[in-house]
Amino acid sequence: MPIGRLRAIDPGAGTLDIDFVRHADAGPGGRFAESATPTSISSPATRPRCPRSPACCRRSPRRRAARSSSRSPMPPSGSRS
The burial class, CB within 10 Å (0-12 / 13-18 / 19+), for 33 is middle
Residue 8: strand, helix, or coil: strand
pLDDT of residue 50: 56
In the predicted model, is pLDDT for residue 1 greater than 50? Answer: no
Q: Tens of pLDDT along 15-65? A: 778 776 777 766 777 777 777 777 776 565 555 555 555 555 555 555 555
pTM over 0.85: no
